[in-house]
Structure 1
Amino acid sequence: MCRNITILRGLEPAATEQEIYAAAQEFVRKVSGVSGLTTATKPAVDKAVEAIAAATTQLLAELPDRQAPPQSEPPLRRIAARSAALDEDAS
C-alpha cells in the first residue's frame, strides 16, 4: 500500500485538503511510474493530481458517515503527532 493512500473517510476531524492532496499525489506517482517531475511530466501530473483530489473531496462529501473510524491515521497526522510528542519530550 502506498504510504499516503489511507482511508480518509470517517476521520475525526475530517480529512484536510492537504491530506487529500497528498493521497492524490501518491496515487498519481504510483500509477504513472513518475517519481520525479520534469518539465515534460509536471503539467500532466499536476492536472491529474488536481482532478483526483477534487474527485476524492466530492466522494468523501457524498458518502454516508462511517460507523467506526479507520484503524490508522493518514501519514500527515502520524508525522504531526510524532512532532508534537517530540516537542513535549523536549520541554
Structure 2
Amino acid sequence: MCRNITTLRGLEPSATAEEIEAAARQYVRKVSGVQGPTAATREPFEAAVAEIAAITARLLDELPARRQPPPTVPPLRRPEVRARLAAKQTSAS
C-alpha cells in the first residue's frame, strides 16, 4: 500500500523520532488522501500523525532485534533528500 514508507526496524543507529514521524505522516497522507492539510483537515491530520508515530515508536521498542538491517536506507538518512529539505526550508523562510 505505502511503498514509500521505509522499514525502520533494525536501523543502526535506531530510527529517530523524525524518521518515525515522517513514516507516520506518509501513512496518514496515503490513507486519508490529504497531501497538504487545510484549515479543515489540519487538526485531525496532525492528531493522527502523532498517534501513529507514538504507536510506531512503541512497536519498534517492543519488537525483537532484526538479524539483518533493512534493505533500504530511510529517506531522511540520504544526503540528497536532506539537501532538498534544507533548500525547501530556506526558500520558505
TM-score (structure 2 length as normaliser): 0.82
Aligned to 1:47: 47
How far did residue 80 of structure 1 move? Answer: 6.1
Aligned to 2:38: 38
Higher radius of gyration, 1 or 2: 1
Residue type matched to 1:67 in 2? R
Q: In the alignment, is residue 22 of structure 1 matched against residue 22 of structure 2?
A: yes
Q: Please, what is the CA RMSD of the aligned residues?
A: 1.7
> CA 1:81–1:30 in 2, change beyond 3 Å: closer, same or farther?
closer
How far did residue 2 of structure 1 move? Answer: 3.9
How far did residue 15 of structure 1 move? Answer: 0.2
Counterpart-to-counterpart distance in 1, 2:32 and 2:17:
22
Q: Which runs of 5+ in 2 are unaligned?
A: 84-93
Q: In the alignment, is residue 8 of structure 1 matched against residue 2 of structure 2?
A: no
Aligned to 1:88: none
Q: Does structure 1 conserve the Cα–Cα contact (< 8 Å) formed by 2:76 and 2:82?
A: no
Counterpart-to-counterpart distance in 2, 1:2 and 1:41:
24
Q: Does structure 2 conserve the Cα–Cα contact (< 8 Å) formed by 1:2 and 1:26?
A: no
- Aligned pair count? 82
Identity of aligned residues (%): 56
> CA 1:28–1:22 in 2, change beyond 3 Å: closer, same or farther?
same
Q: Which runs of 5+ in 1 are unaligned?
A: 84-91
How far did residue 37 of structure 1 move? Answer: 1.1
* Shift >6 Å, 4+ stretches: none
TM-score (structure 1 length as normaliser): 0.83
> CA 1:7–1:51 in 2, change beyond 3 Å: closer, same or farther?
same
